[in-house]
Amino acid sequence: MGIGDTVERALATVGLTAERVERWLGRPCGCKERREKLNRLGYWAARVLRGFTEKAAAYLEDLWES
């Protein structure tokens, strides 16, 4: 479970789901993409904290561009 999954679960606990947000906005909310980005960001942070910084900048740049 990543950061995005944790945020999604916490928000769902208080009743804030993707479906509800989409009804409020009247359009897709992008929640799935945001969750996936947060998960990938958590993976990146864990690798950096363990000292795997060789390709850290490139990975982070790709993350923001996608």
Angle in degrees, 0-180, between the axes of helices 18-25 and 31-49, rounded to the nearest 10: 130
Domain count, the chain: 1
The predicted structure's pLDDT at residue 47: 87
* Cα gap 19→61, rounded to integer Å: 30
pLDDT at 52 over 90: no
> How far apart are alpha carbons 55 and 59 in whole angstroms?
6
* pLDDT at residue 24 in the model: 93
- Residue-number span of the structural domain to which 55 is assigned: 3-65
Give 23-51 pLDDT, tens digit per residue.
999 999 999 999 999 999 998 898 889 88
